[in-house]
Amino acid sequence: MRSTKLLNIFKPIGLFYFTALLWSHAALAEPLINIEVQETAMHEVSFADLIDFGLDITGEPIADVALTNQGQAVAIEITGSTLNPNVMGQGASIRFLGEAIDTLYTGTNVYTLHLNRDLVARIEAIEYSVSPRAPFASSYLAKKRFAPQQAYSFTSPNDQDPWYAKRIAALDAPQQERVDMRLDDMLPGGNSGSLKAKLKVDVWGASNMPGSDTDHHIRVSINGQAVASKVFDGFERQVISSEVNNLQIGNNVVSLELPLDQGERFDAVNLDAIEISYPRAFIAQNNELMFTSRFKKFRVRGFEQKEISVYSRDSQSIQRIENASIVGRCPDRGDCGVDFGGSGQVTDYYVVADSQFRSPTLRYLPLDEDIRSGSAEYLIVTHPDFIAQGGEVDQLGRLVDSLEETFSSVDVVDVEQIYAQFANHVFDPLAIQRYLQFAQEQRATQFVLLVGGDIYDYRDFENQDAQSFIPSLYVATDDLIRFAPADAKYVDFDNDNVPDMPIGRLPVRSMGELKVLIDKRETYLGRDYQQTAVFAADRFSDIEQYSFTLDAERIRNDYFPTWNVAAAYIDEIGSRDARDLIRNSINNGVSLTSFFGHSSTNQWSFDGLFTGFDAANLQNSGKPTIVTQWGCWNTYHVNPNEDSMGHQFLMTGDRGAVAVMGATTLTSAHHERLLADLVYKELASGLTLGEAITKAKAELAKSMPDALDVLLGWNLLGSPELTL
């Protein structure tokens, strides 16, 4: 019986460990390893690479070797086996076109290697016949792009991309930004002038001046020649395109000017990308060339070796062009070339020297776990870092034991398993959403708790090495805020912007922080200070003519008439005394802390009524509170550069809060008042935090379905089963 072995037993990948595995004929359909690709190019995995990694498929029929991506067969070619041309062995290699992906969350595409004849697809061999007298194509349309991801903005109108290259701002005087773009091997005019050079500039407004309909004016020039001008308003996105006729080989200077001629002192525009399309000669770059063309005959020069492969890809398949011929003075002069025929249709071509095939990253597959069967009335989705290993205390186990006193079934699911089984191993939060819907429908799930913190910089563009344990889904909550983290969207299964079941998040970043929150949860459940609260209210807003004190008093009188409630209202006792009253009330122990007013990520009220520093320095050991914040941004938990008020309340040892509710976006005081009334009504009736929020949002959506700032942007950091 032939066998397939995974060598190097007990190699770790996070939680998972590979033990020595032995496949029989009946098990050969199982996937073997993952192959990660980060750029679109021809890739190669050699037999030696597999052996070095720990996978020995010596003697396996080449006809069984398959590759998949997103569940679909990927065409490959296998060459060079010295053992036997029909089986895998020394000298063999697997070649394929690997394609990168580009999302907010990842640039890594994941392919999976199998021994499964049912999944096999092969790169076809093809020969294009071309007349020897036919002319060679002289150029193709190349693209040079400037688009560094250097800054983040949740106001970006650019679809799913909140990152941009740089901000251009003018104050009291015009401002100009210059970008150098080098164009190598350019051929002005291309094939009899049929390929036209074009410049495309992608920008969007970064300011919105009140009363103005023309906030921005941008002028675009290249190499000193003006090519385009655009006037636009507000936070709109503009893609400015123009043909250009003065490009030069080598460096080209694109200038973007804000002339400040619209009657305002200030103008700000974010530059997302600059792209130049230009006719380029067929000259290899680093021993490869990828291009698209509709011509029928090509000569590509500039290779340093004569071992060159040529592939073409149309909408149906990828082919290896067999009748390509090596030309030029090579290898001695380092000027090899290759001639080959084309399809005459728009086709992608990949011309690559053998030395330039990419070496992708090999990864072990996580050991498959059953996350589909059985009931899970209460479902915890977490990261491997929070699942106990070895001698660690099982903090989630403590939580499960407690929850099982209330819920008939509780399950902990590793998010890596969700990616593997619901996204074919790609890091994608939509896989979590798909799984949660599956769990509701097939596992009778009624409550969801996400355990793990998050950051918006998933691809580490800011070089901070911060980690997302459980990513967020992002939504537009109004015309300004386009990327607000919204855990509520995870459980919006019918896409009506209303959560379909309770969800909460513990934004922990270490096992120690997880222990803190589980300890505080146990303490809160056994508290002896029920029916106590402190209500804080911002000062009267002259601009909006709005009284936050009236909001607080109405809630207090309608839903907490028998509670002992301290009133920390700036309008009545001033900021300093209100701050002292908030601090002293929490330190003495209150079940509920509520704030009504203007706020930011780390502060209540423009007066600095209460700050993240104050929250982090509370002295209520053994007396945690639940916090509801009716203001903007105060649970914005994805900033790698700052801890929010929510973090400060939660992550302060045995002090502070056990749960924090509030906005991850800019909110309307009117919308928050309406939601607050509904949430407190349900909380006062005895519903859990999660149930109260879910039911209140469903009720509000009946009359105000467009109030996305609170329907999606008001979230719970804490366990959804807690009650007041």
Q: What percent of the chain has pLDDT over 70?
A: 94
Q: Burial code of 114-125, b = ≥16 C-beta within 10 A, e = fewer?
A: bbbeebbbbbee
Backbone angles phi, psi at 608, to 5 degrees: 70, 40
pLDDT of residue 331: 67
Residues 63/117, Cβ–Cβ less than 8 Å: yes
pLDDT of the residue at 210: 85
Choose among 76, 14, 67: nearest CA to 364: 14
Question: Rounded to 5 degrees, what are φ and ψ at 442?
Answer: -110, -15
Could you give the count of Cα atoms lying within 13 Å of 254 in the half-sphere of its Cβ? 25
The Cβ of residue 649 has, within 10 Å, a number of other Cβ atoms equal to 32
pLDDT at 98 over 60: yes
Q: What angle do CA 684, 687, 692 make, to 5 degrees?
A: 90
Over 80: is that where the pLDDT of 358 sits? yes
Our separate counts of H helices and E strands in the chain read 12, 46
Over residues 677-693, the mean pLDDT reads 98
Cis peptide before 561 (omega within 30 of 0): no
Question: Between 542 and 50, where is the model more confident?
Answer: 50
Region 456-463: what's the mean pLDDT?
Answer: 96
Question: Which of 81, 75, 108, 82 is closest to 93 using CA atoms?
Answer: 81
pLDDT of 25 above 60: no
Distance separating alpha carbons of residues 248 and 186, to the nearest angstrom: 8
Least confident residue range of 156-165, 197-206, 403-412:
156-165
Task: Tell me how far CA of residue 151 lies from CA of 167, 479, 596, 646, 670, in angstroms.
Answer: 9, 20, 32, 24, 32
Coil vs helix vs strand at 647: helix
Q: What is the pLDDT of residues 223-276, one digit of tens each?
A: 999 999 999 999 999 999 999 999 999 999 999 999 999 999 999 999 999 999
pLDDT at 528: 96
- Domains of the chain, by residue range, sit at 5-122, 140-280, 288-361, 527-717
pLDDT band per the 50, 70, 90 thresholds, residue 160: confident
**Which is more confident, 402 or 6?**
402
CATH topology of domain 140-280: Jelly Rolls (2.60.120)
β-pairing, 603-604 with 599-600? antiparallel
Q: Please state the rounded mean pLDDT for residues 528-541.
A: 97
Residue with tokens 């700050």: 611
pLDDT for the residue numbered 542: 87
What tokens appear for 647 in the block? 């973090």
Kindly state the tokens that stand for 426. 């790609």
Q: Tell me the CA end-to-end span of the chain in Å, nearest whole number.
A: 64
Residue 227 in 3-state DSSP? strand
Confidence at residue 130, expressed as pLDDT on a 0 to 100 scale:
84
Q: Where are the alpha helices (DSSP H) in 363-496?
A: 395-403, 415-422, 429-442
Residue 168: strand, helix, or coil: strand
Q: Residue 212: is it exposed, middle or buried by C-beta count within 10 angstroms (0-12/13-18/19+)?
A: middle
Phi, psi torsion values for 551, nearest 5 degrees: -60, -50
| Cα separation, 334 vs 302, whole angstroms | 8
Distance CA 187, CA 453 (A): 51
Residue 28 has pLDDT above 90, yes or no: no
Q: Which two tokens stand for residue 476?
A: 């537009």
How many Cα atoms are found within 13 Å in the side-chain-facing hemisphere of 644? 27
Q: How confident is the model at residue 29 (pLDDT cuts 50, 70, 90)?
A: low
Burial of 562 (0-12, 13-18, 19+ CB in 10 A): exposed
DSSP secondary structure string, 300-329? EEEESSS-EEEEEE-SS-EEEETT-EEEEE
Distance between CA 378 and CA 447 in Å, rounded? 5
Percent over 90 (pLDDT), the chain: 87
Distances (CA, A) of 601 to 199, 604, 633, 637, 664: 40, 9, 5, 9, 8
Residue 333: its pLDDT value, please? 63
| CA distances from residue 695 to 487, 500, 552, 676 in whole angstroms, order as listed | 16, 9, 21, 12
Residue 468 has pLDDT above 70, yes or no: yes
Tens-digit pLDDT profile for residues 360-372: 999 999 888 999 9
What is the structure's pLDDT at 638?
98
Mean pLDDT score, 134-163: 94
Predicted confidence (pLDDT) per residue in 381-411, tens digit: 999 999 998 878 999 999 999 999 999 999 9
Q: pLDDT-based confidence at 193, cuts 50/70/90?
A: low
- Contact call for residues 371 and 413 (beta carbons, < 8 A): yes
Q: How many residues comprise the chain?
A: 724
Top CATH class, 527-717: alpha beta
The model's pLDDT over 281-309, given as tens digits with 9 standing for 90+, comes to 999 999 999 999 999 999 999 999 999 99
Is 568:578 a contact under the CB 8 Å cutoff? yes
What pLDDT score was predicted for residue 13? 36
Q: What is the chain's Cα-based Rg?
A: 30
Does pLDDT of 10 surpass 50? no
140-280 and 527-717 share one fold: no
For the chain, helix, strand, coil in percent to 5 are 20, 35, 45
Q: pLDDT-based confidence at 159, cuts 50/70/90?
A: confident
Range with the lowest mean pLDDT among 1-5, 477-481, 516-520, 530-534? Answer: 1-5
Q: Hey, what amino acid is at 387?
A: I
How many alpha carbons fall within 13 Å on the CB side of residue 685?
Answer: 12
Q: Is 440 left (phi over 0), alpha (psi -120 to 50) or beta?
A: alpha
CA distance linking residue 276 with residue 564, whole number of Å: 67
Residues 573-631 have pLDDT tens digits of 999 999 999 999 999 999 999 999 999 999 999 999 999 999 999 999 999 999 999 99
Angle of CA points 243, 245, 251, to nearest 5°: 105
Any idea which residue has 């009140």 for tokens?
210
Given a contact cutoff of 8 angstroms between Cβ atoms, the answer to whether 611 and 634 are in contact is no
Question: Is residue 291 a contact partner of residue 346, using CB atoms and an 8 Å limit?
Answer: no
Q: CA-CA distance, 374 to 393, in Å (whole number)?
A: 26
Alpha-carbon span 532 to 655, nearest angstrom: 17
Question: What's the burial of 500, exposed, middle or buried (CB within 10 Å: 0-12/13-18/19+)?
Answer: middle
